[in-house]
Amino acid sequence: MAILVSKKVTKRFGGLEALSKIDLEVREQSIHSIIGPNGAGKTTFFNCVTGFYTPEEGEILFNGRNITGLSPDRVTHLGISRTYQNIRLFKNMTAVENILVGMHPHLKAGLIGSVIRPSWVVKEEREALEEAKHLLRFVGLQGRGDMLAKNLPYGEQRRLEIARALASRPKLLLLDEPTAGMNPSETQDMINFIRRLRDELGITILLIEHQMRVVMNISELITVLDFGQKIAEGTPLEIQRNERVIEAYLGRGAASGLGQVHASPAAR
Amino acid sequence: MQISAPSFSWKEAVRVGVLGGAIAILISLVGMVAAFGERYIVYGWFSMGQVLFLAPILFMVSLTLRREKASTSSKTVLHSLLAGAVGGVMLAVLVLLGQVINLRAVLVNASPRLYGMLTFNQGLPAGPFVLIAVTALLGAVAGAYHLLPPRWQRTLSQAVIWLILTGLMRDLIMNIVVRWRLVGELFKTVLFASSGLQPIGAIVLLLLIGGLVYWRSGQPAGRGFSLKNQPPTIRWASIAGIVLIFLTLPQILGVYFSEILDNVMMYILMGLGLNIVVGFAGLLDLGYVAFFAIGAYTMGVLTSPELRAEPLTYWQALPFALVISFISGLILGLPVLKLRGDYLAIVTLGFGEIVRLLVLSDWLRPWLGGTQGIQLIAQPRIGSMVLNTQEELYYLFLLGVGIILFIAIRLKDSRLGRAWMALREDEDVAMAMGINHVVVKLLAFATGAVFSGLAGTIFAAKLTSVYPHSMNFLVSINVLALLILGGMGSIPGAFVGALVLIGAPELLREFAEFRYLVYGALLVTMMVTRPEGLWPEERRRLELHEAEEELKGAEPVPAS
């Protein structure tokens, strides 16, 4: 069953068609990748799903509900959460506070409640803090909670950003190049971590990724975009054999090399 | 490993001297030196005016020494002496030039009085040489100071700073101690002169403070006093003590200083409000005075018999004033929801001007009094007592500050406070975190508006009248400046900022005409040397409550 359905989504910037008639289905509890060369419209698609952009045509359904044109905060309330290509943490807030902001949708204290602080608000805050610490442990950042986000090393900032995204208890998590700037061992950790998100928390993952090793390794389904068009969709093996994809993106040498890379984990 | 640091060279010494001298000349020619000529620090010996032209030279020398990490040798002293002398020469040239050409035709402050002060009243031809000798000596002292061990450095610098502060605050201190006859007499005869300190008093004070600082810096480090680390009984006793001091302050200080405190607290109220808008939520509001005006005018319109046949009392009108402030906050917030940064600043600036022009206008004259303003505004009553003196109004301000402080602290560490800060850090991401930016922004504007409106109502009650000209743009700038000075987003920073920016100029009346010059210099210096403010915001430790856990660990120890 599809958790996210995109029907003929088109997004234009002036004369430029950044996305044209994109059809896409993300199956529940799957790991689905979107790949494509720079400027293919991958991040634009994420922005359409999360409400930053409103597509000119087409509609996006989440759990069968039309979310086209909803504001970003409404989309988040429904259960979609995301990270960013260039890390966008709240830099001058601590790690715990970043996660607590992520919990905003399911906390209830307003202006009056925050000032008077009745027992239910105290309880809510205490539980939120516990959950935040739990999330810190889950992403391996225990003991780092009181550090300002900007003072964390790069890899930890990436993981904190995911923890913040998880704090809103999403059903669908959009990851925009989660392994960008990571070395091979960090990348492997991230691959394992993304699998855990799906296996342990049951979250559906839609990710944009440039490192073919990662994409071919963890994806169940891959969608390939080029110049705003969907040019292919299929399993990693199908994508590697797809002529159009090889033309547009992978290159012949890369495709044959990738076959080997992919073969080794499969052989294990 | 020793890396040979570039030592303080001859060339550098001259450069520093010229810079220091230039600043000293500027301060002299704007008239600050002469204005403070009668403000003695040590009576008959040296005045604040002299401090003002000597300090820049000293400051430049010591700044350079610190940066250069000058080699510890007699050369340092010699070069510092040269730098000081160069600064002195520049001032001496000014004095001599003043004898030859009539500088006063262009530079009104280049008066004989200034020359007298610069030459320590030694006249010509000796005066300029005395000046150069003094600055050279000061330079050498600064050089020698940097060769001292840190403990002595701290002792010396703190002793001198406290000496200057005590001299400046003579009136304030005398005003307090005069109540106890014996102490008052002692202070009057030994410590203080008619202006500043007695020479003997100054020496005693220097030794006393120096001794104290020297002794304290000898104590083991890391034993800073923090309320959080104390057992509950001491903590509560300290809090009770602080509250008691605040409650008795008007009795101790008298009318004049109570009024200063009233002013400071009025700005604290506004500072805490603007801190929510600018400090927490990052929405630069340059028209903040508008809400102050709305609070004050609502109070005026509702309670003045000039405008209403049946005027309300202060307490009856207060809720209306606060609600109207809240609504006006929403009204400002709505059109600027999509604006960020500079654009927001311009629109809010316009909003402030619109409100000022409305209360000034002839069109609204029948309701708001136009240029005449509103008189006969009600003062708050408690039972049969009317709060109408500065001391009584102090308690009204104190109550207001207490309540607002409580609200501000609660909001800061709440879901809403975090949402504001997230909005400040990155608005797009905050929205993607499920924060409704419309609601959250409007609440920031409205909450800030209520705080400012409250300050306005007390202001109206204090003066029993409001005029359009009290509602000018500079009020907004003052509030913003005190926040920058204290530390954006910091609650204690608002207090420190208000004390320094509003309180200090009242104590140093001579500053009045240089107020904005000093503001400017202070803000530029702050931005360069300490951009986070005097008392920067500190993030609460949430994950690891170290202080509290230590306390819990300490508690089970039996008291016997």
Statement to judge: residues B303 and B286 lie in one domain: yes
pLDDT at B4: 45
Residues of B within 8 A of A78 (CB-CB) are none
Statement to judge: residues B386 and B530 lie in one domain: yes
Chain B: closest CA distance from residue A28 (Å): 22
Statement to judge: residues B527 and B473 lie in one domain: yes
pLDDT in tens, B4-62: 445 567 888 899 999 999 999 999 998 888 888 888 888 888 888 899 999 999 988 88
Nearest CA in chain B to A97: B418
In a domain, B172, yes or no: yes
pLDDT in tens, B106-156: 888 888 889 988 988 888 888 899 999 999 999 999 888 888 888 888 899
Q: What is the ipTM of this complex?
A: 0.90
pLDDT in tens, B533-553: 888 888 777 777 654 444 444
pLDDT in tens, B216-242: 887 765 544 566 667 788 888 888 998
pLDDT at B107: 86
In a domain, B559, yes or no: no
In a domain, B78, yes or no: yes
Can you list the domains of chain A with their CATH numbers?
Answer: 2-79+170-267 (3.40.50.300), 93-169 (no CATH)
Closest by Cβ to A104, choosing from B434, B539, B544: B434
Statement to judge: residues B41 and B121 lie in one domain: yes
Closest by Cβ to A145, choosing from B430, B433, B542: B542
Statement to judge: residues B285 and B215 lie in one domain: no
Whole-model pTM: value is 0.86
Statement to judge: residues B352 and B466 lie in one domain: yes
Secondary element (H or E) of residue A93:
none
Nearest CA in chain A to B543: A145
Chain A: closest CA distance from residue B458 (Å): 22
- Residue A103, strand partner residues: none
Statement to judge: residues B534 and B457 lie in one domain: yes
Picking from A46, A146, A151 by the largest number of B CB atoms within 10 A of its own CB, the best residue to mutate is A146
- Number of domain units in chain B: 3
Residue with tokens 């202080």: B547
Chain B residues with at least one Cβ partner in A under 8 Å: 406-407, 410-411, 414-419, 421-422, 425-426, 428-437, 443, 447, 539-544
Yes or no, beta carbons of A101 and B433 under 8 Å apart? yes
Indicate the Cα dihedral angle B257, B263, B264, B265, nearest 10°: 110
**CA distances (Å), B392 to each of B243, B254, B299, B395, B396, in order?**
16, 11, 19, 6, 7
Task: Label the pairing between strands A57-62 and B46-47.
Answer: unpaired
**CA distances (Å), B325 to each of B307, B445, B469, in order?**
20, 10, 19
Statement to judge: residues B490 and B442 lie in one domain: yes
A250 φ, ψ (degrees, to nearest 5): -75, -40
Domain with B168, as residue range(s), is 151-219
Picking from A43, A77, A90, A117 by the largest number of B CB atoms within 10 A of its own CB, the best residue to mutate is A90
Closest by Cβ to B414, choosing from A51, A72, A109: A109
pLDDT at B72: 61
Yes or no, beta carbons of A76 and B421 under 8 Å apart? no
Mean residue pLDDT across chain B: 87
In a domain, B246, yes or no: no
In a domain, B555, yes or no: no
pLDDT in tens, A76-122: 999 999 999 999 999 999 999 999 999 999 999 999 999 999 999 99
B-proximal residues of A, 36-65, CB under 8 Å: 50-52
Mean pLDDT, range A115-134, rounded to an integer: 94
Domain endpoint, select from B98, B114, B147: B147
In a domain, B311, yes or no: yes
